[in-house]
A and B are shown apart, each in its own frame.
Chain A
Amino acid sequence: MSAPAPLLEVADLATYFDSKRGVLKAVDGISFTLKRGEVMGLVGESGSGKSVTGFSVIGLIDPPGRIAAGSVKLDGEELVGKDAEALRTLRGRRVAMVFQDPMMTLNPVLSIGTQMRLVLRAHEDVSRADARRRSIEALARVGIPDAARRLDDFPHQFSGGMRQRVAIAIALLHRPALIIADEPTTALDVSIQAQILAEMRNLVRESGTAMIWISHDLATVSSIADSIAVMYAGRIVESGPAHEVLGAPRHPYTKGLLESIPGEAPPGSVLAQIPGAMPSLLALPAGCAFRARCTYAQDACAAMPALAASPQGHAVRCHFPLEGMR
């Protein structure tokens, strides 16, 4: 009959921060859906609202921030407006989050074992021995050698890549249906980035976990994502299946991002940078927020374009979408 409800359904989500200088519209009406086991890449330059999107989904927006409008449904269940305790029981259990720098996220003065036990006990009544056993399993699953012995170690005793594996193991402890990975490889060495990326891909594939992979780097996203959403100034400007968005980008901003990837340009050529900077989120211009930097901009762009989707689900928010690139 009808298609099963998506795992995550975000509709017209708007997250604002109230400040003395006005209302900062960090996320301003975004919609996307995620199927079980699907990996979505969320890309965009710094400040475009990727992290705020992630935090909005798990209900971790603190004042002065607020979810001003929209809905977030997990398995059909509305999360916006749920009370704090209900959201807490959901976080870490059904939706987990991994952050950029494990040096900062892991507590330097608690052993790995203690930190994992605290996370287990946040949602389950587990004995010390059980917590230990499950933590060792989780560490082994993310490829930490000699996991049983390392459990009593502290974060500084691990290398950067191993630390991020620990953080991932913590996120996987309760086998969540969705992981939000906020630039989890950005703080790591390039060689280790690739390893972690590959391992995360395998982990979510094996366990059928869906993932939102946040990154400002389209190259990493291209190797892990099934679908891609491109954010600009708090809005999604283009989204669709990864091969469509990467292979035939329709928004000039996406095209600009793709042209600034080193591997995509002919060797020796100068990398194209998108000129200019993102407008202030406190005072967004009317119409397309990208138009001041856009070489294709015309008068019509002073009106906000709608997000128009193709039958294949390739959507673009542009009055003059590009056709048949590459």
Chain B
Amino acid sequence: MVGFVIQRLLQAGLVMAAMSVLVFVGVYAVGNPIDVLLSPNVDQITRLETIAAYGLDRPLWEQYLLFAGRLIHGDFGRSFIFGVPVLDLIFSRLPATLELTLAAVIAATLLGVPLGMYAGYRPDSTASRVIMGVSILGFSVPTFWVGLLLIFVFGVELQVLPAGQRGETATLFGIEWSFLTGNGLRHMLLPALNLSLFKLAMMIRLARAGTREVMFGDTVKFARAAGLRERTVLGRHVLKLIAIPIVTVFGLEFGSTLAFAVVTETIFSWPGVGKLIIDSIATLDRPVMVAYLVLVAFLFITINLVVDLTYAALDPRLRRGGAR
């Protein structure tokens, strides 16, 4: 197990190094930040001084090494626009995205897995057809459109739910959270629903496919022959047998939503990371973009590692194999 973790950490280090090069070069290609930093009418000397101050006159590889050196020390630089350290900026926005993402992914899983299992258990029932219809809808309708629809119906027409901002927050561990207040929860509802629809569809599909396969297997036959109740068969045997793909998708969806909740955050003016990153792209705030992309890479590597470790916890057959 320890060997497995060390091996995975080394791998993660390599991937991070490669990612930092890609990110750096990629962002370099986006445009010249000097145009953003300075007003067009400053004189040439100030212009050159600023370029030198940010190290933008050096060769690309030198700029990268400087950047990598700072990265290793956890220094992502300062935002060109806000003038504050980039990490502070990102972490000030992260809780908003984090709580929204967690709410969406957890709700989608807690709802989607039982629904999908039912649809796999009774594939021909009317309820199962309805469930699968919802899942097809969740896959095919674009997120932004659903978001607008939600705002229109619940925010504008019925006026039962707020359709923007975080609402009241409360402090936990020195961080502001919306989910701790009733008002904040109400504000979370629509954007979380918007985010979770696609995930719900995916969880339903996964759970259904897995359940259908397992139900025909000998494990279920043997459990039934021993007189187990259907709910025990489903809740203990089947759920555990289909858990691995579900955990995988949970992890990846959590990561991708945390990183790319852009559309929903924009529609609902949710002050999270997605909104920050869209703004930073519009303003060519290079340090923010770079830091964000590096953190996203880091996030995914971490999630993959956690998912792999969860596999080992879920499936005893993988434990020995992993250690070797």
On chain A, the residues within 8 Å of B315 by CB distance are 108-109
> Shortest CB–CB separation between residue B232 and chain A, in angstroms?
6
Contact of B227 among A99, A110, A114, A122 (CB under 8 A): A122
Is residue B316 contacting chain A, with contact meaning CB distance below 8 A? Answer: yes
Is residue A265 contacting chain B, with contact meaning CB distance below 8 A? Answer: no
Structural contact, B236 and A110, CB atoms closer than 8 A? yes
On chain B, the residues within 8 Å of A114 by CB distance are 236
On chain A, the residues within 8 Å of B225 by CB distance are 58, 60, 91-92, 96-97, 99
On chain A, the residues within 8 Å of B232 by CB distance are 118, 121-122
Structural contact, A119 and B236, CB atoms closer than 8 A? no
Structural contact, A91 and B227, CB atoms closer than 8 A? yes
With A93-B227, A97-B225, A167-B222 as contacts: A104 and B217 at CB distance below 8 Å: yes
A88 to B228, CA, bound (A): 7
Structural contact, B227 and A105, CB atoms closer than 8 A? no
Structural contact, A122 and B226, CB atoms closer than 8 A? yes
Structural contact, B314 and A118, CB atoms closer than 8 A? no
A119 to B236, CA, bound (A): 12
A295 to B19, CA, bound (A): 76
B199-231 interface code vs A (CB 8 A; 1 in, 0 out): 000000000000000000111011111111100
Is residue B241 contacting chain A, with contact meaning CB distance below 8 A? Answer: yes
In chain B, residues 225-247, which have Cβ atoms closer than 8 Å to a Cβ of chain A? Answer: 225-229, 232, 236-237, 240-241, 243
> Shortest CB–CB separation between residue B242 and chain A, in angstroms?
10
> Shortest CB–CB separation between residue A77 and chain B, in angstroms?
16
Is residue A170 contacting chain B, with contact meaning CB distance below 8 A? Answer: yes
Is residue B324 contacting chain A, with contact meaning CB distance below 8 A? Answer: no
Task: Name, among B222, B226, B228, B237, the residue most crowded by chain A CB atoms within 10 Å (CB to CB).
Answer: B226
Is residue A89 contacting chain B, with contact meaning CB distance below 8 A? Answer: yes
Is residue A107 contacting chain B, with contact meaning CB distance below 8 A? Answer: yes
Task: Name, among B222, B223, B232, the residue most crowded by chain A CB atoms within 10 Å (CB to CB).
Answer: B222
Structural contact, B219 and A104, CB atoms closer than 8 A? yes
Structural contact, B240 and A110, CB atoms closer than 8 A? yes
For B243, give the chain A residue with the smallest CB separation. A109
- Summarize B's interface: helix, strand, loop or mixed: helix
Is residue A30 contacting chain B, with contact meaning CB distance below 8 A? Answer: no
Is residue A7 contacting chain B, with contact meaning CB distance below 8 A? Answer: no
Structural contact, B240 and A109, CB atoms closer than 8 A? yes
With A154-B317, A156-B316 as contacts: A106 and B219 at CB distance below 8 Å: yes
Is residue A171 contacting chain B, with contact meaning CB distance below 8 A? Answer: yes
On chain B, the residues within 8 Å of A157 by CB distance are 316
Structural contact, B222 and A106, CB atoms closer than 8 A? yes
Structural contact, A88 and B229, CB atoms closer than 8 A? yes
> Shortest CB–CB separation between residue B239 and chain A, in angstroms?
10
A105 to B225, CA, bound (A): 11
Is residue A90 contacting chain B, with contact meaning CB distance below 8 A? Answer: yes
For A111, give the chain B residue with the smallest CB separation. B316
In chain A, residues 68-108, which have Cβ atoms closer than 8 Å to a Cβ of chain B? Answer: 88-93, 96-97, 99, 101, 104-108
Structural contact, B314 and A109, CB atoms closer than 8 A? yes
Is residue A123 contacting chain B, with contact meaning CB distance below 8 A? Answer: yes
Number of B interface residues in the complex (CB < 8 A): 22
A99 to B219, CA, bound (A): 10
> Shortest CB–CB separation between residue A316 and chain B, in angstroms?
32
A90 to B240, CA, bound (A): 26
Structural contact, B316 and A107, CB atoms closer than 8 A? no
For A84, give the chain B residue with the smallest CB separation. B230
A160 to B68, CA, bound (A): 55
Contact of B224 among A89, A91, A110, A121 (CB under 8 A): A91
On chain A, the residues within 8 Å of B227 by CB distance are 88-93, 119, 122-123
On chain A, the residues within 8 Å of B317 by CB distance are 108-109, 154, 156
A170 to B224, CA, bound (A): 12
On chain A, the residues within 8 Å of B314 by CB distance are 109
Contact of B222 among A99, A109, A123, A156 (CB under 8 A): A99
A88 to B232, CA, bound (A): 12
> Shortest CB–CB separation between residue A62 and chain B, in angstroms?
9
Structural contact, B223 and A60, CB atoms closer than 8 A? no
In chain A, residues 304-318, which have Cβ atoms closer than 8 Å to a Cβ of chain B? Answer: none
For A171, give the chain B residue with the smallest CB separation. B226
With A99-B221, A101-B218, A154-B316 as contacts: A107 and B228 at CB distance below 8 Å: no
For B315, give the chain A residue with the smallest CB separation. A109
B292-324 interface code vs A (CB 8 A; 1 in, 0 out): 000000000000000000000011110000000
On chain B, the residues within 8 Å of A89 by CB distance are 227
In chain B, residues 75-89, which have Cβ atoms closer than 8 Å to a Cβ of chain A? Answer: none
Structural contact, A118 and B228, CB atoms closer than 8 A? yes
On chain A, the residues within 8 Å of B218 by CB distance are 99, 101, 104-105
For B238, give the chain A residue with the smallest CB separation. A107
With A99-B218, A122-B232, A156-B317 as contacts: A107 and B224 at CB distance below 8 Å: no
For B219, give the chain A residue with the smallest CB separation. A107
A107 to B222, CA, bound (A): 9
On chain B, the residues within 8 Å of A118 by CB distance are 223, 226, 228, 232, 236-237
A173 to B225, CA, bound (A): 13
In chain A, residues 132-156, which have Cβ atoms closer than 8 Å to a Cβ of chain B? Answer: 154, 156
Structural contact, A122 and B240, CB atoms closer than 8 A? no
Beyond the given A107-B223, A114-B236, could you list 6 further A-B residue pairs with CB under 8 A, ordered by the A residue number? Answer: A91-B226, A93-B227, A109-B243, A109-B315, A110-B240, A118-B223
Complex A-B, nearest 9 residue pairs according to Cβ-Cβ distance, in ascending order: A92-B227, A92-B226, A105-B222, A97-B225, A104-B218, A91-B227, A154-B316, A119-B226, A105-B218
In the assembled complex, 9 residue pairs joining A and B whose CB atoms fall closer than 8 Å, in A order, are A60-B224, A91-B226, A104-B219, A106-B219, A110-B236, A110-B237, A118-B228, A122-B229, A154-B317
B residues with a Cβ closer than 8 A to A are 217-219, 221-229, 232, 236-237, 240-241, 243, 314-317
